Amino acid sequence: MDHKMKNVLVVGGDGFCGWPTALHLSQLGHSVTIVDNLSRRRIDDDLGANSLTPIQPIDVRIAAWHEATGKTIGFEHIDVALEYDRFEALLAALKPDTVIHFAEQRAAPYSMKGISEKRYTVDNNIGATHNLLAAITNLNLDTHIVHLGTMGVYGYDDDGMEIPEGYLKVYIPGDEKQIFQREILYPTNPGSVYHMTKSMDQILFQFYAKNDHLRITDLHQGIVWGTQTEETKLDDRLMNRFDYDGDYGTVLNRFLMQSAVGHPLTVHGTGGQTRAFIHIQDTVKCLALAVENPPQERNKVKILNQMTETHTVRHLAGLVADATGAPVANVENPRNEAAENGLRVSNETFISLGLQPITLAQGLCEETQQIAQRFADRCRMDMIPCVSTWTDNQRPGLVPSS
Ligand code: NAD
Ligand code: USQ
């Protein structure tokens, strides 16, 4: 482990995972600068949605952090997908030890809404990732890149095999007794345009690690739940965002919010989908561990599964319903996904680095529910349903060639 205090650039540091990560790293003593184009706030305005929690403008957040702790966080308003020269100039000036890359459009339903959202998600996510890799290479920096990827790149099979951390050993029969062995990236099987961009990111990382020897850690994160961390709790102006709408709200936080506002829990289909989860407090701890443990190898991306437990959607709904009395509504599934699947995942690297996972059983559901209750009057009930469907775009009547 590298205990040196580092110069860290947090790209996408105004978002749900990025903001508490920036605060945690600053609290640990690292020097932190945030880059963000505030597109997440703009998308809320476009959708007519909002964070359930009242979040402060970025300058107020940063000033409140300084007031609460005496620590300073820098901020640069840059679109890393579109403003390459400004981004490269910032990297040249800062020469960061580490860049953490959160800056992508991260909602699967939003990415499936229509043609402009599909194109935006691909252009933004691939543009951001490639600009970062190209700039670090062009400047010849020895910066460690930590990227937030997703568990969803693996897809969901149901044969009980434990999903390894990124790579798969394959054995291919040759002639006679010969067996060829390869270690390959785990074949991707994305379930949305958003998840597809994370699959494509993996190839960009693989190439730049091989060709330019960049040091890259790709964290395949599960669904993040919860809102607050030790640092965001220090002052109401530091409060984290809480997405609950049909595009950006993730399943467990949605159920906790729905129970607080008297809305039935919107289980898609039978709720037999098993997914990987992690609490936001563990997300920030994992990021600190990733910053302190850069990869030893330069020609191979270090891939870690950043999740702590798996649950079916119906189990989560049952937990919330039992705790709150909220009714469960099995709504038609708007997504194109397996109705039922199992999921076993290895997270051995973070556990070996000392992560002690927070689990659902440890009362944090109540904390998140209290936040949801406190701000229930900010909920826009018409934003709750998931209206983005996967099947609208499945080309029912192909247009014949002319
Ligand atoms: P978020 O949308 O809240 O934050 C992303 C931030 O990046 C926003 O502040 C946005 O304004 C910024 N951004 C986007 N494009 C940008 C660009 N071109 N230039 C500059 N800034 C840009 O999302 P989040 O929930 O914090 O997720 C962060 C990362 O973690 C994403 O890459 C996401 O795929 C990954 N992830 C999130 C979850 C989850 O459950 N939230 C789970 C697994 C992985
Ligand atoms: N679901 C419901 N009811 C709801 C909302 C969702 O049953 O009201 C179901 C979905 O159909 C899906 C599951 O819950 O089967 C998870 O959906 P989600 O919206 O909580 O999570 P997902 O779309 O997978 O995306 C989220 C983040 C994304 C991240 C991913 C990690 O938005 O950025 O990459 O979690 S993972 O799922 O492990 O790939």
Average pLDDT over residues 191-200: 98
Cα–Cα distance, 134 to 151 (Å, whole number): 25
User: What residues pair up with 344 in beta bridges, in sequence order?
Assistant: 162
| Tens digit of each residue's pLDDT (9 = 90 or more) over 256-284 | 999 999 999 999 999 999 999 999 999 99
- Tell how far the Cα of 288 is from the centroid of ligand 2, in angstroms: 25
Neighbouring C-beta atoms of residue 369, cutoff 10 Å: 19
Q: How confident is the model at residue 393 (pLDDT cuts 50, 70, 90)?
A: low
Closest-approaching ligand to the CA atom of 22: 1
Ligand with minimal distance to 265 CA: 2
Q: Which atom of ligand 1 is nearest to the CA of 106?
A: 34
Q: Per residue in 162-186, pLDDT tens?
A: 999 999 999 999 988 899 999 999 9
Q: Is the pLDDT confidence value at 402 over 90?
A: no
Q: What percent of the chain has pLDDT over 90?
A: 91
Q: What is the mean pLDDT of residues 126-147?
A: 98
Which residues have CB under 6 Å of ligand 1?
12, 14-18, 36-40, 79-81, 102-104, 106, 124, 128, 148, 150, 221, 223-224, 250
Q: Quick one: average pLDDT of 74-93?
A: 98
By most ligand atoms within 8 Å of CB, the mutation choice from 43, 101, 150, 368 for ligand 2 is: 150
pLDDT band, very low/low/confident/very high, at 394 (cuts 50, 70, 90) = low
Confidence (pLDDT) at 391 = 79
Told to judge if 285 belongs to the known catalytic residues of this protein, a careful annotator would answer: no
Pick left, alpha or beta for residue 183 (phi over 0 → left; psi -120 to 50 → alpha; otherwise beta). Answer: beta
pLDDT of 396 reads: 62
Q: What is the mean pLDDT of residues 357-383?
A: 91
With beta carbons less than 8 A apart as the criterion, state whether 26 and 65 touch: yes
Ligand nearest to the CA of 153: 2
d(CA 23, CA 232): 8
Give the pLDDT score at 395: 61
In the reported structure, the alpha carbon of residue 102 is separated from the centroid of ligand 1 by a whole-number distance in angstroms of 5
Q: Where do the domains of the chain lie, and which CATH numbers do they carry?
A: 7-390 (3.40.50.720)
CA of 396 to the centre of ligand 1 (A): 33
Nearest atom (ligand 2) to Cα of 307: 38
CA 69 / ligand 2 centre spacing (Å): 35
In this structure, which ligand is nearest to the CA of 251?
A: 2
pLDDT for the residue 96: 98
Q: What is the mean pLDDT of the chain?
A: 96
| Among the listed residues 219, 247, 249, the one whose alpha carbon sits nearest the alpha carbon of residue 153 | 219
CA–CA distances in Å: residue 328 to residues 3, 257, 320: 48, 13, 9
The pLDDT of residue 392: 65
Q: What is the pLDDT of residues 298-338, one digit of tens each?
A: 999 999 999 999 999 999 999 999 999 999 999 999 999 99
Centre of ligand 2 to C-alpha 106, Å, is 10
Q: What is the ipTM of this complex?
A: 0.99
First to last CA, the chain: 63
60-63 long-range contacts, CB within 8 A, separation 24+: 60/237, 61/14, 61/19, 61/237, 61/238, 62/34
Q: Which residues line ligand 2 (CB under 6 A)?
A: 106-108, 150-152, 222-223, 250-251, 254, 266-268, 271, 273, 275-276, 313, 333, 335, 337, 386
Given the residues 6, 113, 118, 198, select the one marked as catalytic.
198
Mean pLDDT of 186-193: 97
Give the confidence band of 361 by pLDDT, cuts at 50, 70, 90: confident
Rounded to an integer, the average pLDDT of 48-55 is 98
From the number of C-beta atoms within 10 Å of its C-beta (0-12, 13-18, 19+), residue 185 rates as middle
User: What is residue 400's predicted lDDT score, i.e. its pLDDT?
Assistant: 84
Active site residue 194: yes
Which of 268, 308, 347 has most ligand 2 atoms within 8 Å of its beta carbon, as the pocket-test mutant? 268
User: Which one, of 247, 268, 382, lies nearest residue 316 by Cα?
Assistant: 268
Q: How far apart are CA 235 and CA 26, in angstroms?
A: 15
Respond yes or no: is residue 150 known to be catalytic: yes
Q: What is the pTM of this model?
A: 0.97
